[in-house]
């Protein structure tokens, strides 16, 4: 049910309860005890209906707030997400430094979900834990595993010092 309908139903229930209460106040004292109990039950029923409708309305509004927040975040990120080296990266507010990433291109483009890529067991492959896509990207792999690149540099230096040309 949409929030307008829920609010309208709740207001109708409250109006009905008010009318019954007004009727009881204006009635002569000649109302029978059973009739009085019936009218009070109608009031309780109308107020319970209004309470349920307001609870439904509260949930609908809360769901819409979540959707609005998600869309606002997506809008805020849109100008700061850049595609580099086969992955999305988040830039800072001035858009001159990478502050987060790398994110899966498939997940971001399909659902606007930021899923951080992980290094795969096979270098230089990276994978997405969400959509399970695996692809090669040496710059992304090196960003995720700088220790591998450092080890490679150290090995190159050691081989060069021994006058052996590295093959990698």
Q: Do 71 and 137 share a structural domain? A: no
Q: Which of the four pLDDT bands, split at 50, 70 and 90, describes residue 106?
A: very high
In a domain, 40, yes or no: yes
CA geometry: angle 63, 68, 71, nearest 5 deg: 125
Write out pLDDT tens, residues 115-157.
Answer: 999 998 877 889 999 999 998 888 888 888 888 777 767 777 7
- State the DSSP H helix or E strand holding residue 129, giving kind and residue range, or none if neither: none
Pick from 123, 85, 78, 79: which is nearest to 104 by CA? 85
Note the pLDDT of residue 102: 94
- Nearest 10 degrees: CA dihedral of 102, 107, 108, 113? -90
Q: Do 154 and 85 share a structural domain? A: yes
Q: Do 68 and 87 share a structural domain? A: no
Last residue of a domain, one of 78, 113, 138: 78
Q: Do 94 and 73 share a structural domain? A: no
In a domain, 44, yes or no: yes
pTM score: 0.52
Q: Do 114 and 73 share a structural domain? A: no
Q: How far is CA 144 from CA 45, 51, 77, 122, 131, in A?
A: 62, 53, 22, 13, 18
Burial class (CB in 10 A: 0-12, 13-18, 19+), 6: buried
Last residue of a domain, one of 56, 78, 100: 78
Q: Do 63 and 27 share a structural domain? A: yes
Q: Can you tell me the mean pLDDT for 92-110?
A: 88
In a domain, 31, yes or no: yes
Write out pLDDT tens, residues 49-78.
Answer: 888 888 888 888 899 999 999 888 878 887
In a domain, 167, yes or no: no
In a domain, 30, yes or no: yes
- Number of folded domains in the chain? 2
Q: Do 58 and 91 share a structural domain? A: no
In a domain, 168, yes or no: no
In a domain, 166, yes or no: no
What's the domain range around 38?
3-78
Last residue of a domain, one of 12, 43, 78: 78
């Amino acid at each position: 049910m949409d929030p307008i309908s829920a609010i309208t139903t709740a207001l109708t229930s409250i109006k009905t309860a008010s009318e019954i209460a007004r009727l009881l106040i204006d009635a002569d004292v000649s109302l029978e005890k059973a009739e009085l109990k019936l009218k009070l039950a109608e009031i309780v029923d109308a107020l319970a209906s209004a309470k349920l409708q307001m609870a439904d309305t509260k949930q609908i509004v809360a769901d819409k707030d979540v959707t609005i927040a998600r869309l606002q975040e997506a809008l805020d990120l849109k100008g700061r997400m850049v595609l580099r080296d086969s992955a999305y990266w988040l830039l800072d507010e001035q858009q001159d430094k990478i502050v987060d990433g790398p994110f899966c291109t498939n997940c971001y483009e399909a659902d606007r979900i930021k899923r951080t890529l992980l290094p795969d067991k096979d270098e230089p492959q990276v994978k997405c834990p969400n959509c399970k896509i695996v692809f090669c990207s040496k710059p992304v792999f090196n960003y995720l595993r700088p220790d591998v690149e450092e080890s490679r540099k150290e090995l190159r230096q050691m081989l060069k010092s021994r006058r052996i040309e590295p093959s990698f």
